[in-house]
């Protein structure tokens, strides 16, 4: 029997099944490999594949079948093989992503909850009364969730246990409130109802991809909730992918409102024991609705009936480490393998998805209007005409707009997609600049944490008193703004406003982040200053003004998607304004107001901009009209990287529809002390890029010493 191990091996290994043992593909088994034992999965032998060449006597036996975990469903096995073939990675590494919860395989530790036993406590307080009311449904509660539901401290619960009012009982292994599909749903607007009707048609019969393309605030979530409800009512599981954990909290709250219970969560902020329980509950078909980051796609759903990819255009769906995959594309693959409909939702769909829709592969559903609100009014601020004062970053036009907004008691958001205080620090005396010793990058000042930090390898040093080069005192000056510097300027200009700074490096935990987002939602904050953490998806009812500090930042990049990406980000962030009764406004600071991206944002003419972008991609046969793969060669020595990259390039086979460009030194030429060289493979749309790459790599010399070669099919980063 072939058994796939979660290791970087090219294929499953064969094992003998001992007398009396019964195994089938998908079963988890323990097998020996060299001197150690591994947990692996019995794998199907591809039809017509030859039996192993090794002699039977040489094969080792499966040690044990792990029976207390459900086997991986056939669709998961299929999916792992496809993903491995598509991304040119080892199937074992894909399996590893599927098994990423070690805890799922340990016997679940018994957990205890509390239940209302009926005897009222002798001393009644307001807090205690709230607990009794919340626990009155006869269910067993996890202590912390009961405290949360009743809005009391955990001590109150303990007090009621001591008083005998609550009794302790073991919790079932998967403890989640059942979803209630009969709840009153939102009353959809006529436009939403039409979109929902189309979506229900598309999602009622197997694999179909729908592109739900609705302006910001149009109620796309309400619309796809209808498709989720339908899938759940047929008893299927449903998965909602989100590009960033920061987005999940509002979604969870809305699920609770709509379905009377929380979905299961799967992302890096979920504790290891809970991940173990979620994994099992998904495998056992007990967790019906799952919301998660891209890795949730690899959960072992036995009966997935719907996949929603929210904010489908988001770059957060691309994983670059280990197995390089694009989760949106893999969601479509998973849907096609499992006969399961897929919904891609966005106000700024990717060009890839729009072209798929235009060519009839996806069904396009549009929502043109906001739900009970109008789209914000967007204007650019020409920084040449109304520049900020020396040493400041906000134009007087933007400052005045913030002041007016505050005067009206409304909220303002200032957005800059750059963490830290200043991107470069230099010595005024000798011109020395702080550079990372391991990377070809400047060190970024982080004033809150009083250090200079590399954004590529994480190295940091305390901010020195004197210049390390010339020894001058008080000579170091920060150059350019990061988000912390904008926060400083805002604090000086609006000292009385309630301000919050949100940046991924300053937000210690997911619960803190959720608390801050709630404060913004409940209007306990006047000015939000943030990076892309606040740019996407959120619904802040009191937010009237969005100011983009530097719209030109993304446009300067040498990246085929730079214009598309900048448009999406700017449109999304300004789309946070005016989502309810208050009219919204977006102000975009730029030195290039005539740039097509800025023009498209200001005029609101998305389609004209996209048409031009699509035409340009077509002319250049860039994705989705052509295909790309990146080969990245790294080594601790420059010669090592360059030399091997050249050897690989020389081994490239001739092909009519495929071109190999490079090698060239990567724009980020060193990261973590490793020199980097890039090759780019460009193929026609119909070219079989994977077959070409496989042929090439099998012919190319193997890397020696510390040289590494990484393949990235459909790359999004060119640095």
Enumerate binding residues for Zn ion (CB under 5 A): 436, 438-439, 454, 456-457, 459
> CA–CA separation, 642 vs 663, rounded Å?
8
Which of 93, 546 has the CB closer to ligand ADP? 546
**DSSP output for 123-140:** S--HHHHHHHHHTTTS--
Site string for ligand ADP, 318-357 (x = CB under 6 A): ----------------------------------------
> CA–CA separation, 463 vs 241, rounded Å?
40
Interface with ligand ADP includes 313 (CB under 6 A)? no
Which of 86, 371 has the CB closer to ligand ADP? 371
> CA–CA separation, 607 vs 612, rounded Å?
9
Retrieve residue 608's tokens. Answer: 């004209």
Site string for ligand ADP, 208-247 (x = CB under 6 A): ------x-xxxxxxx-------------------------
> 3-class SS at 443?
coil
Q: Which does 449 bind (CB under 5 to 8 A by kind): Zn ion, ligand ADP, none?
A: none
76, 89, 101, 189: which one contacts ligand ADP (CB under 6 A)? 189
> CA–CA separation, 378 vs 192, rounded Å?
25
Q: Which does 439 bind (CB under 5 to 8 A by kind): ligand ADP, Zn ion, none?
A: Zn ion
Which of 17, 186 has the CB closer to ligand ADP? 186
371, 393, 421, 644: which one contacts ligand ADP (CB under 6 A)? 371
CB of 187 to ligand ADP, least distance (A): 6
Q: Which does 539 bind (CB under 5 to 8 A by kind): Zn ion, ligand ADP, none?
A: ligand ADP
CB of 26 to ligand ADP, least distance (A): 37
Which of 418, 617 has the CB closer to Zn ion? 418
Pick the piece of the chain touching ligand ADP (CB under 6 A) from 184-192, 355-363, 405-413, 522-530: 184-192
CB of 261 to ligand ADP, least distance (A): 18
Interface with ligand ADP includes 252 (CB under 6 A)? no
Asked whether 625 and 616 are in contact (CB, 8 A), the reply is no
Residue 283 CA, chain-centre distance (Å), reads 22
> CA–CA separation, 612 vs 596, rounded Å?
9
> CA–CA separation, 396 vs 385, rounded Å?
11
> CA–CA separation, 138 vs 115, rounded Å?
7
> How many CA atoms are closer than 13 Å to the CA of 345, on its beta-carbon side?
26
Pick the piece of the chain touching ligand ADP (CB under 6 A) from 187-195, 599-607, 610-618, 710-718: 187-195
Q: Which does 438 bind (CB under 5 to 8 A by kind): Zn ion, ligand ADP, none?
A: Zn ion
Which of 219, 276 has the CB closer to ligand ADP? 219
Asked whether 274 and 286 are in contact (CB, 8 A), the reply is no
Write the CB contacts of 327 (distance below 8 Å, at least 6 apart in sequence).
241, 294, 297, 309, 317, 318, 319
Give the closest residue to 502 by CA, choosing from 480, 492, 493, 518.
518
> CA–CA separation, 494 vs 377, rounded Å?
24
Interface with ligand ADP includes 384 (CB under 6 A)? no
Give the closest residue to 567 by CA, choosing from 531, 520, 604.
604
Angle between helical axes of 596-603 and 562-574 (0-180°, round to 10): 30
> 3-class SS at 510?
helix
> 3-class SS at 104?
helix
If binding means CB under 6 A, how many residues of this protein chain bind ligand ADP? 16
Write the CB contacts of 639 (distance below 8 Å, at least 6 apart in sequence).
none
Q: Which does 561 bind (CB under 5 to 8 A by kind): ligand ADP, Zn ion, none?
A: none
Which of 216, 353 has the CB closer to ligand ADP? 216
Site string for ligand ADP, 68-97 (x = CB under 6 A): ------------------------------
Pick the piece of the chain touching ligand ADP (CB under 6 A) from 175-183, 188-196, 502-510, 543-551: 188-196
Which of 1, 439 has the CB closer to Zn ion? 439
Which of 188, 610 has the CB closer to ligand ADP? 188
Pick the piece of the chain touching ligand ADP (CB under 6 A) from 69-77, 181-189, 566-574, 709-717: 181-189
Which of 220, 678 has the CB closer to ligand ADP? 220
CB of 196 to Zn ion, least distance (A): 49
Closest residue (Cβ) to ligand ADP?
Answer: 219
Q: Which does 532 bind (CB under 5 to 8 A by kind): Zn ion, ligand ADP, none?
A: none
Residues 532-591 that bind ligand ADP (CB under 6 A): 539, 579
Place of tokens 């592109």: 211
Which of 416, 454 has the CB closer to Zn ion? 454
Retrieve residue 524's tokens. Answer: 């306990």
Residues 467-526 that bind ligand ADP (CB under 6 A): none
Which of 346, 634 has the CB closer to ligand ADP? 346
Pick the piece of the chain touching ligand ADP (CB under 6 A) from 161-169, 180-188, 238-246, 405-413: 180-188
Interface with ligand ADP includes 187 (CB under 6 A)? yes
Write the CB contacts of 376 (distance below 8 Å, at least 6 apart in sequence).
546, 574, 575, 577, 578, 583, 584, 585, 586
Which of 220, 675 has the CB closer to ligand ADP? 220
Interface with ligand ADP includes 186 (CB under 6 A)? yes
Which of 457, 491 has the CB closer to Zn ion? 457
CB of 192 to ligand ADP, least distance (A): 6
Which of 313, 627 has the CB closer to ligand ADP? 313
Which of 192, 634 has the CB closer to ligand ADP? 192
Q: Which does 454 bind (CB under 5 to 8 A by kind): ligand ADP, Zn ion, none?
A: Zn ion
Q: Which does 644 bind (CB under 5 to 8 A by kind): Zn ion, ligand ADP, none?
A: none
> CA–CA separation, 19 vs 24, rounded Å?
14
CB of 130 to ligand ADP, least distance (A): 26
> CA–CA separation, 692 vs 681, rounded Å?
10
Which of 298, 540 has the CB closer to ligand ADP? 540
Asked whether 443 and 461 are in contact (CB, 8 A), the reply is yes
> CA–CA separation, 506 vs 300, rounded Å?
34
> How many CA atoms are closer than 13 Å to the CA of 395, on its beta-carbon side?
20
DSSP single-letter state for residue 435? B
Q: Which does 456 bind (CB under 5 to 8 A by kind): Zn ion, ligand ADP, none?
A: Zn ion
Pick the piece of the chain touching ligand ADP (CB under 6 A) from 55-63, 65-73, 182-190, 697-705: 182-190
For β-strands 543-548 and 411-415, DSSP reports them as: parallel
Q: Which does 425 bind (CB under 5 to 8 A by kind): Zn ion, ligand ADP, none?
A: none
Residue 171: phi and psi, rounded to 5, are -85, 145
Dihedral of CA atoms 14, 20, 22, 28 in degrees, nearest 10, equals: -60
Largest CA distance in the chain: 86
CB of 215 to ligand ADP, least distance (A): 7
Retrieve residue 512's tokens. Answer: 């803190």
> CA–CA separation, 341 vs 204, rounded Å?
8
Residue 221 CA, chain-centre distance (Å), reads 17
Contacting positions for ligand ADP (CB under 6 A): 186-189, 192, 214, 216-222, 371, 539, 579
């Amino acid at each position: 029997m072939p058994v796939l191990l979660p290791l970087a091996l090219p294929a499953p290994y064969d094992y003998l099944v001992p007398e009396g043992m019964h195994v089938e593909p998908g079963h988890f088994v323990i097998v020996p490999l060299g001197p150690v034992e591994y947990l692996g999965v019995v794998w199907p032998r591809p039809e017509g594949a030859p039996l192993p060449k090794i002699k039977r006597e040489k094969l080792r036996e499966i040690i044990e079948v792990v029976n207390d975990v459900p086997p991986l469903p056939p669709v998961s096995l299929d999916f792992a093989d496809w993903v491995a073939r598509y991304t040119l990675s080892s199937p074992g590494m894909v399996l590893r992503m599927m098994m990423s919860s070690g805890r799922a395989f340990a016997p679940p530790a018994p957990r205890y909850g509390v239940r209302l036993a009926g005897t009222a406590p002798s001393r009644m307080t307001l807090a205690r009364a709230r607990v009794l009311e919340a626990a009155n449904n006869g269910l067993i509660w996890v202590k912390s969730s009961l405290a949360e539901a009743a809005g009391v401290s955990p001590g109150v619960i303990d007090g009621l246990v001591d008083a005998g009012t609550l009794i302790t009982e073991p919790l079932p292994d998967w403890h989640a409130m059942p979803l209630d599909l009969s709840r009153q749903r939102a009353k959809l607007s006529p436009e939403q109802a039409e979109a929902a009707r189309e979506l229900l048609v598309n999602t009622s019969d197997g694999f179909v991809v729908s592109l739900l393309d609705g302006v910001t605030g149009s109620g796309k979530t309400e619309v796809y909730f209808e498709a989720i409800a339908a899938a759940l009512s047929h008893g299927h599981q449903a998965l909602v992918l989100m590009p960033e954990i920061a987005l999940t909290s509002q979604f969870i709250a809305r699920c609770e409102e709509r379905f009377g219970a929380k979905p299961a969560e799967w992302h890096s902020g979920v504790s290891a024991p809970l991940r173990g329980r979620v994994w099992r509950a998904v495998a056992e078909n007990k967790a019906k609705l799952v919301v998660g980051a891209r890795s949730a796609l690899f959960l072992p759903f036995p009966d997935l009936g719907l996949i929603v990819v929210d904010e489908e255009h988001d770059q957060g769906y691309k994983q670059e480490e280990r197995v390089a995959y694009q989760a949106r594309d893999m969601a479509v693959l998973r849907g096609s393998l499992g006969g399961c409909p897929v919904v891609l939702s966005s106000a700024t769909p990717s060009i890839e998805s729009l072209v798929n829709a235009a060519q009839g592969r996806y069904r396009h559903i549009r929502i043109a209007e906001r739900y009970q609100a109008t789209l914000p009014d967007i204007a650019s601020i020409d920084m040449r005409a109304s520049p900020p004062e020396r040493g400041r970053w906000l134009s007087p036009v933007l400052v005045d707009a913030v002041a007016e907004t505050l005067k009206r008691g409304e909220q303002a958001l200032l957005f800059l997609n750059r963490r830290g205080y200043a991107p470069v620090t230099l010595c005024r005396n000798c011109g020395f600049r702080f550079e990372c010793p391991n990377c070809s990058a400047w060190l970024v000042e982080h004033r809150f944490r009083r250090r200079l930090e590399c954004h590529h390898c994480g190295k940091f040093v305390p901010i020195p008193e004197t210049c390390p080069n010339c020894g001058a005192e008080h000579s170091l000056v920060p150059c350019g703004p990061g988000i912390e510097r904008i926060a400083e300027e805002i604090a000086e200009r609006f000292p009385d406003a309630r301000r919050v700074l949100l940046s991924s490096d300053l937000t210690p935990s997911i619960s803190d982040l959720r608390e801050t987002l709630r404060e913004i939602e409940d209007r306990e904050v006047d000015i939000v200053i943030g990076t892309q953490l606040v740019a996407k998806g959120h619904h802040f009812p009191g937010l009237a003004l969005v100011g983009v500090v530097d719209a030109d930042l993304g446009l300067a990049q040498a990246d085929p998607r730079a214009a598309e990406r900048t448009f999406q980000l700017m449109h999304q962030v300004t789309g946070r304004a005016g989502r309810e009764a208050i009219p919204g406004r977006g102000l975009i600071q730029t030195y290039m107001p005539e740039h097509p991206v800025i023009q498209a944002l200001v005029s609101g003419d998305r389609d004209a901009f996209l048409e031009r972008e699509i035409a340009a991609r077509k002319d250049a046969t860039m994705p989705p009209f052509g295909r790309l793969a990146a080969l990245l060669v790294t080594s601790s020595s420059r010669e090592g990287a360059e030399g091997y990259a050249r050897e690989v390039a020389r081994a490239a086979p001739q092909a009519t529809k495929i071109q190999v460009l490079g090698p060239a030194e990567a724009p980020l030429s060193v990261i973590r002390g490793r020199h980097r060289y890039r090759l780019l493979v460009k193929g026609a749309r119909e070219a079989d890029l994977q077959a070409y790459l496989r042929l090439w790599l099998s012919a190319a010399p193997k890397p020696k010493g510390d040289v590494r070669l990484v393949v990235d099919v459909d790359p999004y980063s060119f640095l």
